[in-house]
Amino acid sequence: MTESLTASDCSTTQIHGGTQASGPVRSVRPPLHLSAAFGFDSLRDAREAFAQRESAFTYARTGSPTVALLERRIAELEGGVGAVATGSGQAAVALALLPLLARSGQTPDVVAREDVPAGHLVASHRIYGGTADLLTDLFAELGITVTWADPHDPASWSQAVTPRTRAFLVESIGNPHADLPDIPALADAAHTAGVPLIVDNTLATPHLLQPGRLGADIVVHSVTKYLTGNGTAIAGAIVDTGRFRPSDAPATWPQFTAPTPRFGGESLVDRYGEHGAYLHLVRAKYLHDLGPTLSAFNAQQALDGIETLDIRVERHCRTAEALAARLHDHPGARIVRHPSVPGSPNAAIARRDFPRGTGAVLSFEVDGDLATVERFVDSLRLFQLAANIGDSRSMVAHPASMTHCRLSPELLAAGQITPQTIRLSVGRECVEDLWADLVQAFEAAGLGSDPAEAAVTDTVTATAEATVTREVTLTSEAFARDLEEVSA
């Protein structure tokens, strides 16, 4: 395996990270391993592998060579000690949390009991709607409770901690408003409470931010988005940054520190070490039992995309910044939310933690009623109406109708999502073409044009009118001369 590289070496890691050259055939491009099962030379080897006493591929539900390469590469990009890939980003969030919050992990002998409550989570109230669905619906059915907190107010997170709290969850760049939390402050609050901080780094990617360097314990990704970069494949990943040490509080984390029959009467820490216990439980129990498996083909798509991550993200960021600045000055848009716009409450953290940019997702409020919003969205031509981000193509979404449609009124209000909120995922098209599309949509919605565009239009119109007047005058004078010559 290649050595872990620093953030400045991101481009090298994108191409070479995790590669293991072995065997007689050493293809330059890592091969795609399409196989559901993997054979063994002897029953002894199979027995040790299935008992998880020796490392080996057994069945593709829990791993394959292609998926393993993706895991190693993403772990290196995040500066982590390891990773587990999943079939989607949603699965990554679920599997990152379940080993910490499930009821069995709250009993000394790691046996789920109805009389013992499940864990408690503190989460950002400005978060992706699909994550909110998971926490408020499915996790509630499992007895897991959630307290929502302001990502801009770390003190509120400390105040939300209970004896059952087992994790904090936040996005490094919030969806849909590009909020930037104070990750070091949240990490301090989490560690004071004795729990790990989990950061969803989907919108930032390791090119813009490595949360582990700021104190995060676990990082999750929807690999579908910027890591893959072309909207072709669904994938997710969970990265252990190496900061989470369950042995520091064994009574809090019996699922890692106490012997369990599932793992041969040993504790996971004893068998796999301080930095292997968490990910092994993710893979060997939750990925194995629930089966949100990443296919080898989708893993290969992600590996191909990661090779150009830095180049693509740079283009995304610069284009988004240009559009945000123009939207900020347009009369049809109000409350433009992106850390790059003047007066953004996220500007200080952007300068401190995001020197390369703050991503390509932004939001704004259309200055009109819902009918106006619909005319605006339906008039867009380049921006595709779709629930995805990180694609090469620019996309528009109406969070209240789409990605955040199931949020409670309280969460919608806390997240400042209104019927006028529009989310843009800015792609890599020509910025002038994208801006022209937005301007014509504003005009179609009856919201006027950009003042700068209007000034240019007025100048062009005045010049054209003057030219026409001059041409008409010259034509009239020439006609008069011709008439005089004919009369003579």
Domain boundaries, the chain: 13-306, 310-444
Q: Do domains 13-306 and 310-444 have the same CATH topology?
A: no
Strand partners, 200: 171, 220
pLDDT digits (tens, 9 = 90+) for 335-386: 999 999 999 999 999 999 999 999 999 999 999 999 999 999 999 999 999 9
Whole-prediction pTM: 0.88
Considering the chain, what is the average pLDDT of its residues?
Answer: 90
Q: 124 pLDDT exceeds 80? A: yes
- Long-range own/partner contacts, residues 281-285 (CB < 8 A, 24 or more apart): 281/99, 281/255, 281/256, 282/84, 282/95, 282/96, 282/99, 282/238, 283/62, 283/63, 283/84, 284/52, 284/62, 285/99
pLDDT at 420 over 80: yes
Give the pLDDT score at 61: 94
Q: Which residue has the tokens 């092994």?
A: 280
CATH, range 310-444: 3.90.1150.10
CA distance 196 to 122: 11
As a whole number of angstroms, the distance between CA 290 and CA 62 comes to: 10
pLDDT in tens, 30-76: 888 899 999 999 999 999 999 989 989 999 899 999 999 999 999 99
Q: What is the pLDDT at residue 480?
A: 44
| Sheet strand arrangement including 395-397 | 333-337, 361-366, 421-425, 395-397, 384-385
> Token match 């109805």: residue?
114
67 residue type, one letter: V
Asked if the 13-306 domain carries CATH number 3.40.640.10, the reply is yes
| Residue 450 confidence (pLDDT) | 52
